[in-house]
């Protein structure tokens, strides 16, 4: 057991700064407690009011300047930002690591920490990433597609006369109404794209376990027929793994 493991885990905070929210989490007895905020001010308030003495804060961010804004508000030097530069080069099979979002790597690492196999992680957020990490913990890259909400809102400006639709895929193909046609073209299009990408992973790589994370993960999980495992804290779990 490392010194890190033997210390009070509640004193270590993990902060995932995404495109639309800031998640703050800590682990106690293998259980994660996570709160989500929209602004750095809200996040800083939670950190300042943390019920345990904060020993160290580990941060990953995909938003320029947000880490500095948060650090300025909490007025502490016990903050470490994890970036791609912290990842050993032999763990990245990726041609442009300088452009790789750290959240993509950390989500795979979080899933990998739970699995003895390779993993594919679907992070269904503002963008939807589908990435692969092998059984040796090497990140192989993946696919970036528009997020589910982007697909659903695609006609709001370009064709506002089209009706809103509910999330679902009609039982009969092709669509027999404008609403059904839109469901096939938006919901069905998105799901079929994800399935096609997973089939490509099936053909190219070894056996893997599938994980879903991100704000739209529960919706996608239902649409895929309950395939894979939903875990909303994969990025935070990856941060913890790096910290150890």
Q: How far apart are CA 36 and CA 200, in angstroms?
A: 34
The residues, ordered by sequence, that sit 6+ positions from 231 with a Cβ below 8 Å of its Cβ are 110, 111, 114, 211, 212, 213, 237
Would you give the DSSP letter of residue 163?
P
Marked catalytic residue, from 16, 103, 123, 216: 103
Contact 130, 145 (CB under 8 A): yes
Tell me, yes or no, if 103 is annotated catalytic. Answer: yes
Contact 213, 234 (CB under 8 A): yes
Q: How far apart are CA 54 and CA 48, in angstroms?
A: 9
**C-alpha separations of 171 from 174, 176, 183 in Å:** 9, 11, 11
Q: Among all residues, which ones are annotated catalytic?
A: 103
């Amino acid at each position: 057991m490392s010194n890190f493991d033997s210390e009070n885990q509640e004193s270590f905070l993990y902060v995932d700064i995404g495109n639309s929210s800031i998640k703050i989490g800590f682990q106690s007895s293998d259980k994660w407690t996570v709160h989500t905020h929209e602004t750095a001010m809200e996040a800083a308030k939670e950190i300042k009011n943390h019920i345990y003495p904060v020993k160290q804060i580990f941060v990953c961010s995909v938003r320029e300047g947000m880490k500095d804004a948060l650090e300025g508000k909490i007025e502490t030097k016990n903050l470490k930002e994890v970036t791609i530069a912290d990842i050993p080069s032999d763990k990245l099979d990726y041609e442009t690591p300088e452009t790789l979002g750290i959240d993509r790597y950390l989500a795979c690492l979080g899933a990998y920490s739970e699995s003895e196999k390779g993993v594919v992680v679907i992070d269904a957020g503002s963008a939807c990433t589908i990435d692969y990490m092998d059984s040796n913990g090497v990140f192989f890259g993946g696919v970036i597609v528009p997020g589910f909400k982007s697909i659903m809102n695609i006609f709001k400006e370009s064709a506002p006369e089209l009706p809103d639709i509910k999330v679902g895929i009609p039982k009969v193909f092709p669509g027999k109404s404008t609403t059904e046609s839109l469901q096939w073209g938006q919901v069905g299009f998105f799901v079929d794209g994800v399935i096609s990408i997973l089939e490509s992973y099936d053909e190219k790589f070894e056996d893997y376990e599938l994980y879903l994370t991100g704000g739209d993960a529960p919706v996608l999980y239902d649409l895929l027929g309950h395939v894979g495992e939903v875990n909303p804290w994969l990025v935070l779990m990856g941060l913890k793994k790096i910290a150890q």
